[in-house]
Amino acid sequence: MLFNSPIFLFLFLPLFLSVYYLIPLVYKNRSTALSWRNAWLFASSLLFYAWGEGPMVGVLLLSIVTNYTAGLLIAGGHRQTGLWLSLTGSLSLLFYYKYANFAVETAQHLIGWPGSWANTGLVLLPIGISFYTFQGISYVLDVYWGRIGVNRNFIAYGTYTAMFPHQIAGPIVRYADIAPELSERNLSVSRLVSGIERFILGLAKKMLLANTFAEVADTLFNAPVGSITVAAAWLGIVAYTLQIYFDFSGYSDMAIGLGRLIGFDFKENFNYPYTARSIQDFWRRWHISLSSWFRDYVYVPLGGSRGSTTRTYRNLLIVFFITGLWHGASWNFIIWGLFHGAFLLAERAGLGHRLKQWPAVIGHSYTVLVVLIGWVLFRASDIGAAIAYLGRLIGLNGSETNSYVYTIHHFTSTTILGTFILGALFTTPVHLIAQRYRNQTSNGVFQEIGYVVGLLCLFFLSMMSLAASTYNPFIYFRF
């Protein structure tokens, strides 16, 4: 079930919220009402997952039971047993469902395993397994390190892991961040309004911006590389760069908005990453919940930057190798991760210091160029396709026939041009500036009415786009 699907918007969400908001009217005791709200949220989240994944909901439940039990074992004094149960259980599920096919295919190429060994099509990837696996591991590690207390209430813990707003594409929510709200949360009118506003903005990002960029990017990346001009190749990667940002940040906005509607405050997952002036700065702003997870649960435990320079570089490369692998079972993603890691090493070796001394435009241009090239590795179907597309960006791999050629002029309609201009504009903090101005000058009813009408127009346009569009899932669902 997708956030931008009619079944979610007009059936699941209204029914869920109706029951959720009515529970305190039935159970006057606050503690009892909260318990029933958690139970309703947990059950609804399992239904939400099973709606599209069917039996795969069993994998989610197994992950929940494994990490819940591990936490109890650690709290009961069986610290090593609990820790290893979580790590081996969670990572075994992740490896089998996400990496078994990749491991077998790689082994076939390296040591010549016969094709009969690779019944790889039988292992299907459960949506969101990377996200809920990392949430479970972070919970157990925090219990093990004494950062948080164990939650002995299975429903409350299950609610944390399975909660449908962040269930299948993040952000990666840490237990410590929402633990108080699992036991006590209040809904206010201002929080509900803020949640609706954030959800609509995220929906508009997806339907009005990301999907338009997807049409351009898919057309150019799926075409034979020799059939596109150099300018069109650059347009394709710019389109994908904008698509993946508005697609993923749009989902995160919707998740944060839904969280507010039910009384939870999820942390921000994006902070205008394309305004960064270095790759290090980019990773402070892009997919913040993932980069901070790797920092706290991989990089720091490995030693971080506390040892020698060599050990620091090693730790960084390990983190970005895993970062690439987390995104997908493909050498494309591994190389993409190491590509970013290499530039982080260069910045630590002195490039970062120079970037701070140079004009901001140089640092920004360098960062955008590195990110653009990296997205080619991320988007291409395989390494060969990525190399061919990168070659086309510099004029190589041109067509040797008179077959149909895509030029930049094929994508100059008013709608596409306008969307690119808006996309470039909204990768900057222009919305924050407008919001700050609105808050400072908001003293008239007409201004507030105008803002509400604007949000309703965005929702209406998003619904029109939804009615006219084909199936177009969020990019990060497959991770």
pLDDT of residue 92: 95
Cβ atoms 38, 155 nearer than 8 A: yes
Per annotation, catalytic residue among 109, 327, 340, 431: 327
pLDDT tens digits, residue range 92-125? 999 999 998 888 887 777 776 555 444 445 678 8
Q: Which residues of 129-167 are buried (b: 16+ CB within 10 A; e: fewer)?
A: bbbbbbbbbbbbbbbbeeebebbeeebbbbbbbbbbbbb
Q: CA 161: distance to chain centroid?
A: 16
Phi-psi region for residue 405, left (φ > 0), alpha (ψ -120 to 50) or beta? beta
pLDDT tens digits, residue range 423-441? 999 999 987 777 777 666 6
Neighbouring residues of 46: CB distance < 8 A, sequence distance ≥ 6: 57, 60, 61, 162
CA distance 138 to 232: 43
pLDDT of residue 112: 64
Give the DSSP letter of residue 122: G
CA distance 344 to 81: 36
> What do you get for the CA distance between the two ends of the chain, in Å?
16
pLDDT of residue 248: 94
Task: Describe the crossing of helices 57-75 and 79-94 by its angle, rounded to 10 degrees.
Answer: 160
Which residues on adjacent β-strands are paired with residue 406? 228
From residue 42, alpha-carbon distances to 36, 64, 404, 418 in Å are 10, 11, 53, 42
Residues of the chain with pLDDT under 50: 116-120, 400, 402
pLDDT of residue 471: 56
pLDDT of residue 432: 79
From residue 163, alpha-carbon distances to 38, 139, 194, 195, 370 in Å are 9, 15, 19, 16, 35
Compute the half-sphere exposure of residue 8: CA atoms within 13 Å on the CB side of its CA.
19
The answer to whether 327 is a known catalytic residue is yes
- Long-range Cβ contacts of 414-423 (<8 Å, 24+ apart): 415/212, 416/212, 416/216, 419/208, 419/209, 419/212, 419/213, 420/213, 420/238, 420/239, 420/242, 422/209, 423/209, 423/213, 423/242, 423/246
Q: Residue 51 is encoded by which pair of tokens?
A: 């709606």
Domain locations along the chain: 6-185, 191-478
CA distance 325 to 331: 8
pLDDT of residue 118: 46
